[in-house]
Chains A and B, each alone.
Chain A
């Protein structure tokens, strides 16, 4: 492999020194410029530095909360040693008070994590499995910290990083929490063993394809190649949703010219790694509507702008598809979409607004045709609405 693989790792284990782990780890992470693979792409060195001296609870996020994405499952299944070694390294580096693996209740991760915790007690010490309800926001970092301390898997308001303390409601702040995605943890172990080198990307290709699934590729892999390898048409004229449900849309003429490494530079970061290719006959506006409905329903219901704003905006979007209501709906969207950004305790409303905004930009021409004809362009190719 030309890159440092996670999925085809040979199973070798890291040497785990008991001293000087922190400076070596931070230097390694700074040189390699590793960024988190849970969706936020936050620089891992910075996050770990912020935990120094706090004796944090280390929480490894194995929830894989993004629908359709399955990469963390595969890393845990194929390379549990990397996961254990990465957790052990970070725990030693920051002198974690405890190690917790978080997963959704009843998920396939649970038995694998139980086995890992039992098998790796020598390296990890006593670690705990925490399960949370399978809701979209329950795997958000502060939701996991909240769940650990109170059992309530809903995000917390944050004025400072979680590594400054977990701001519980109605009680004194809990000690620091350091939350890292499972894939990020595995990459830390791979970097420790091999030093900095070309990274790989775990991409989940889904949608109008015969062989959807996770593929590990270098940054030079083209999106078209990935689509083709997944049994899709690399010359499809359908758009692509990049990152996750709260991701960014790319029209065909754009994604067909891009490599994986280009995505963040065109404003479509890979995030949790989802590439969702629509069917050419599928109305993207209706697909967006379905996703917005889902995202609105996943609000934790704690913050006004999210719990009231998202359903209202999802309704605006539905009205966008009705020629009689469309113009009024579009102007309401233009006015109200930016208003939810930054006004929740977590980034859920931001993601909702980002994806909808991206869709309005990319599908502008389609929307105009929709309004004119009462349906999609090339209506003859589309089934009854």
Chain B
């Protein structure tokens, strides 16, 4: 198993549609018609990880994060 991060994900509350993530990681992020990120869950190739890290750093509201694999579905009642 690769130990490194394999996906980016967005915190939908913090995200205010600046759209830089789509600029920095177009291989995995496109924008919907309102400017919000649509993320391809295809795992990141190792050579994309540095671009993903850049995208995470460049988000003005720190809404983008790197994760290892699928995030767990939350427990809701």
* Chain A residues with a Cβ under 8 A of chain B: 36, 38-40, 42, 46-47, 50, 61, 140-142, 155-163, 169, 179-181, 184, 302-306, 308-309, 339, 343-347
Contact = CB atoms under 8 A, between A and B. Distances in A.
A184 B14 contact: no
A304 B76 contact: no
Given A159-B67, A339-B32, A303 B75 contact: no
Given A305-B34, A308-B34, A141 B76 contact: yes
A42 B9 CA distance: 24
Contacts of B13: 155-157, 169, 302-303, 345
B76 A347 contact: yes
30 contacts: A39-B77, A40-B76, A47-B77, A141-B76, A142-B74, A156-B13, A157-B14, A159-B9, A159-B67, A160-B74, A162-B74, A162-B75, A169-B14, A180-B77, A181-B77, A184-B77, A302-B12, A302-B13, A304-B12, A304-B15, A304-B32, A304-B35, A305-B12, A305-B34, A306-B12, A343-B12, A343-B38, A344-B12, A345-B11, A347-B76
B17 A304 contact: yes
Nearest to B15: A304
Say what secondary structure dominates the interface of chain B.
loop
Contact of A42 (B11, B12, B76): B76
Contacts of A303: 12-13, 15
Interface string B11-32: 1111111000000000000001
B2 interface: no
A72 B54 CA distance: 49
Interface residues of B, number: 20
Contacts of A304: 12, 15-17, 32, 34-36
Nearest to A41: B77
Nearest to A181: B77
With most chain A CB atoms within 10 A of its CB, the pick from B13, B34, B77 is B77
A207 to B, nearest CB: 26
Contact of A345 (B12, B38, B67): B12
Contacts of B35: 304
Given A163-B75, A308-B34, 8 more contacts: A61-B77, A160-B72, A161-B75, A181-B77, A303-B12, A304-B15, A305-B36, A344-B12
A145 to B, nearest CB: 10
A160 B34 CA distance: 27
A42 B75 contact: yes
Contacts of B72: 159-161
